[in-house]
Structure 1
Amino acid sequence: MRFYLVVLVAVSLLFSCTHQHNEEAGHSKVHAAQSELSLNGTERWQADAATNENIQQLQQLMQDHLRQPDANDLEVVNELSNVLQLGFDEVFKECRMEGPEHDMLHVYLVPMLDDVKAMNTTDQKAAVTARDQLASRLDEYQTYFK
C-alpha cells in the first residue's frame, strides 16, 4: 500500500511542472555519430535543470520501489513500469537541450525506454531483470551528466 502512495506522490511531482515542449523538435532520433554513451572528452555533459530534476525524481522513484518488501512482485514491477513511462515522457517533454549534449542524452535514455517496456510483461523474471538493468542505468546518470 505504501508503494502506491509513493507512486502517487512521484506522479504528482512529475506533472507539477507546466512547461510545454514539442516532442518532435529533435527528440525522435539520435545522430549516428553519437551512438555510444561517453563523456564529453574528460568532462561530464551539461544537462538542463529540468532534465536533472526529472532524472533525479526517476532515481528516487526507483530507490523507493526497491526498498519495498514486494518489489519483485510482477504486479508491482508492472505498475512501476507504467509510472516510469510517464516520468520518461516528462523528461522528453521538458527537455530544452540542444547539440551534442542533447544527442548524448538520447544515447543514455533510449536503452532505458526499452527497459521500461520490458518491465511490462507477464514474465516475472524478465520484468525484474529489466527493472534491475534500468536501476543500474539510472545510477549512471551522474557519471555522464552534470
Structure 2
Amino acid sequence: MKLYLALLLVCGLLFSCSHNHNPEAGHNEVHAAVPALSLNGEQRWQADDATNANMQQLQQLMHDHLRQPDADNPESVSDLRQKAKLGFDKVFSDCRMKGPEHDMLHVYLMPMLDDIKVMDTNDLQTAIAARDRLASRLDQYQTYFK
C-alpha cells in the first residue's frame, strides 16, 4: 500500500510539472510587467555620478563612430559593437543606484543591449539598423535622467 501511494504521489508530481507547461508563458509575463520608459512624474530620474559618466562615454563613443567616413563598413560597426559592449558592462558594474530610478535605468538600457546583440551579425544592413537605434536611444539619455 505504501508503495502504491508513493508511486501515485510521484506520478502526480510529474504530471503537474509537465501538464500544460508553456516555457514562453513566463517569458511573456516578465516582458508584459516591464513598464514603459517614462519620466519621474514631470522630472527626470536621478542617476548616480558613475552612471552619468559612463553614459557620457558611450554617447561620445557613438558620436565619434558616426563621424568616421567609414562608419557604415562592417569592421567599423563590429568595432563599435565591441566597444559599446564593454561600455555597457562598465555601466552595470559601476552602477550603485537603487529603487525606482534603478528600475527605470534598466528599462532604458535593455533595448540597447538587445541592439548590441543584433549588431553581431553578418548582415550589414541589420547591424547598421541596430546601430542607428542604439544611437537614437543614447541621445535620449538626458531626456530621462539627470
**Alpha-carbon separation, structure 2, partners of 1:52 and 1:109:** 13
Is structure 2 residue 36 aligned with structure 1 residue 36? yes
Task: Write the deviation string for residues 26-77 of structure 1: whole angstroms up to 9, x where unpaired.
Answer: xxxx997552100000000000000000000000000000000000001110
Which AA in structure 1 matches 2:59? Q
Between structure 1 and structure 2, the one with the greater Rg is: 2
Instruction: Give the match's secondary structure for 2:109.
Output: helix
Normalising by structure 1, what TM-score?
A: 0.77
- The 5-angstrom pairing of residues 51-66 of structure 1 reads 51-66=51-66
Structure 1 runs (4+) deviating above 4 angstroms are 30-34
Is the 8 Å Cα contact of residues 112 and 134 (structure 1) preserved in structure 2? yes
Which AA in structure 1 matches 2:49? A
Higher RCO structure (Cα 8 Å, ≥6 apart): 1
Unaligned runs of 5+ in 1: 1-29
Partner of 1:132: 132
**Alpha-carbon separation, structure 1, partners of 2:127 and 2:111:** 15
Structure with a larger share of its residues in helix: 2
- The 5-angstrom pairing of residues 1-146 of structure 1 reads 34-146=34-146
In the TM superposition, residue 100 of structure 1 has moved relative to its aligned partner by: 0.1
Is the 8 Å Cα contact of residues 34 and 104 (structure 1) preserved in structure 2? no
Which AA in structure 2 matches 1:46? Q
Is the 8 Å Cα contact of residues 34 and 103 (structure 1) preserved in structure 2? no
Structure 1 residues 103, 62: closer, same or farther in 2, change over 3 A? same
**Alpha-carbon separation, structure 1, partners of 2:100 and 2:31:** 9
Percent of residue pairs bearing the same amino acid type: 69
Task: Write the deviation string for residues 106-126 of structure 1: whole angstroms up to 9, x where unpaired.
Answer: 000000000111111100000
Root mean square deviation, CA, Å: 1.5
Structure 1 residues 101, 144: closer, same or farther in 2, change over 3 A? same
Normalising by structure 2, what TM-score?
A: 0.77
**Alpha-carbon separation, structure 2, partners of 1:141 and 1:31:** 22
Paired residues, number: 117
Structure 1 residues 103, 130: closer, same or farther in 2, change over 3 A? same
Partner of 2:6: none
**Alpha-carbon separation, structure 2, partners of 1:140 and 1:56:** 12
